[in-house]
Amino acid sequence: MFLNFLPMFKTASPQKLVYLLLFFGFLVSCNEDTIEPTGEGSVAGLVITAETGEPVQAASITTNPATSAIVTDAAGKFLLEAVPGGDYSVTAKKNGYKSESVTVAVVDGKQKQITIVIARSKDTNTVPNLPAKPSPATDATNQATSVTLKWQGTDPDKDDALTYDILLYEVGATQKKKLAEGLTDTTFVATDLKYGTLYLWQVIATDKLGGITNGPVWSFSTLPLPDTRYLFSRSVDGNFDIYSSLGTDANVFKLTTAFAREWWPVISPRRDVIAYSSNVTLDPQIWTMSRSGGDKRQVTTVPVAGYHNLGIGFAWSPDGGSLIYANYDNLYRIDNDGANLRLLAQAPANRHFRMLDWTAQGNKIVAQTIGADVNDSEIYILNADGTDMRQIVGNLPGRIESPSFSIDGGSIVYTRDVNGFESKEGRQLNAHIFIQKLDGSGVVDISVNKPAGTNDLYPRFSPDGSKIIFVNTSNDGISQSDVWMVDALDGKNRVKLFSNASMPEWK
C-alpha cells in the first residue's frame, strides 16, 4: 500500500505532504490497534457536522453490541464508560442528519477517542413519539420467566415506518442486554428470565430517516423461585453450573452463570442457603447463595484443596451456622459468613482429607482420607471437635468414596469399586453403593440391580431416609452422568430423575 502513495509524495506541496503523512500514520495506527477481549475501557467521542465542523448537540449515541444509549452534550461530546473489551460500532443519530457509524476497539484500562461526522439530511423529519402503554405495566409483579413485551409506537410524520430496539437489564447489573434490534412489530417475547428478579426494559424507536427516540424505562419483576428440593451440578459446553429442580427434568432452574467451574451444591439444614464450590477466583473456594441463586458471597479464602480434590466434599454443621472442609491434611471449620476459621483435625501421615459429612445424631463427622494415589482411600469417624478419630472402612482394593450419614446417624453410605480395579487415572469399572453401621456391621449392597458396565457414585440419603439419590454413569469415564434414586432398604426401584447431572443433593 505504501508504494501506491510514492507518486503522491513526490509531487505534493509541503502542506499536502503533511496531510499525507498524517493520513498514512492514521492508517498504520488502525492496522496496529490490538484489542484485549477482557476488562473494561471507555470511549470518548465528538460529533460534528460534515458541512461546518461544528459540534452537534443532543445527537443520540448507541453501540453494537449494545452498551449504553446516551446523547451528546452542548459541545457535541459524549463518554461511554465501563465498556467491556472488544470491537464496537458506535452510531450517531439526530433528526435532520444522516446517521453515521465508527468502529472502535475497546481495550482494558484505556480510553479511545473517536470523531463521528454526520451530514445534514435533505429531507425534513420529526422524530418518533415516545413509546407508550407498556405491557407488562410498569412495576408489574409475579411475571413468568417468559414474558410477552408490548408497547405502542407512533410517529408525527404520516406513513413514517418505525423500527424498534429493546434493551433489558437486571436491577444492579452494569450492562443492558439488547433483546431485539430492528423490530417492525410492537410485540416481543422475552425468554429465559430468572425467577425472583426485578427487570428494567426500554424501547428505542427509529424512523426511516434515522430519527430516534429513547423511550422511558419500564420495570417488572418475575415470580419467586418455586420451593425446589433437589440440587445438582450440570456441565454444558464444558462449563459446570448449579441447578435446582422440583424433581423432574421438566422443572429445572439454573442458579449460577459465571464462566467458572461451580459445583458440589449443599443446602443448609435450615434450607435457606446453598453452599457451593467456585473457582471464579482461580482457587476453588466455598461460596453461598440464596435458594433462588441470588446474594452470592465468598465464604473461604483458604481454598478447598488436596489430593484429588478440586473443590468438593465440604459439609454444613447440623445447625447451619458453619461449614467444614478439607485443605490438604487439615480439616477446617468456618462460620457461614467467612469468619472464625479454625483447625479441627489433621489427617494421618501422608494423607489428605477429602469428602465429609456431619450428623447431629451423636455430633459426629465422617471423613474420607486419601493418599497421593487416588485408589488409596479410607473412611474415618471423629467427634465434631476433631477428637477420637478412628477408621471404620479400611483401604480396600479399588476406589472408596463419598461417605455420608443416614438420617439417624447410625449408618453411613459410601461407594466402592467391587472389581478392585486400580489405575493411576482413577477409573472405576464397577462402583457399588454400600450401607453399613458405624461399627462396620450390617453391610448392604444397594447396587445389586445396577446395569453392567456402569458406576454408581455420589450417594446421599433422601430427607425421609427411605431413598438414596445418586449418580449412574458408564465406566468408560467419558459418558454422560445422570441422577437416579433407589430404595435404601434393598436397592430396588431404580428411577432416573435428571439427565446430564452430577453431585446431587436432596433436602
Whole-model pTM over 0.85: no
**pLDDT tier, 124 (very low <50, low <70, confident <90, very high otherwise):** low
CA quadruple 277, 279, 284, 289: dihedral positive or negative?
Answer: negative
The average pLDDT across 478-494 equals: 96
Fold classification of 132-222 is: Immunoglobulin-like (2.60.40)
**Which pLDDT value is given to residue 14?**
45
C-alpha distances in angstroms, 146 versus 104, 116, 188, 206, 221? 35, 39, 10, 26, 12
What is the DSSP pairing of strand 239-245 with strand 252-254? antiparallel
Q: For 203, how many CA atoms within 13 A lie in the half-sphere containing its CB?
A: 25
Q: Which residues contact 407 (CB under 8 A, 6 or more apart)?
A: 461, 463, 464, 465
Q: Are 124 and 160 in contact (CB under 8 A)?
A: no
Domains 33-118 and 302-506 share a fold: no
Using CA atoms, how far apart are residues 66 and 202, in angstroms rounded to an integer?
A: 12
C-alpha distances in angstroms, 113 versus 41, 42, 80, 134, 184? 11, 9, 11, 37, 34
CATH architecture of 302-506: 7 Propeller (2.130)
Element (H, E) at 79: strand 77-84
**Which pLDDT value is given to residue 193?**
86
Q: Which residues contact 191 (CB under 8 A, 6 or more apart)?
A: 145, 146
**pLDDT tier, 18 (very low <50, low <70, confident <90, very high otherwise):** very low
For the chain, give every domain's residue range.
33-118, 132-222, 302-506
Lowest average pLDDT, out of 100-109, 206-215, 301-310, goes to 206-215
**pLDDT tier, 206 (very low <50, low <70, confident <90, very high otherwise):** very high
Q: For 322, how many CA atoms within 13 A lie in the half-sphere containing its CB?
A: 15
Q: 154-172, pLDDT tens digit by residue?
A: 998 877 789 999 999 888 7
**Which pLDDT value is given to residue 19?**
44
Q: What is the mean pLDDT of the chain?
A: 90
The answer to whether residue 236 scores a pLDDT higher than 50 is yes
Grid cell listed for 459: 450417594
Fold classification of 33-118 is: Immunoglobulin-like (2.60.40)
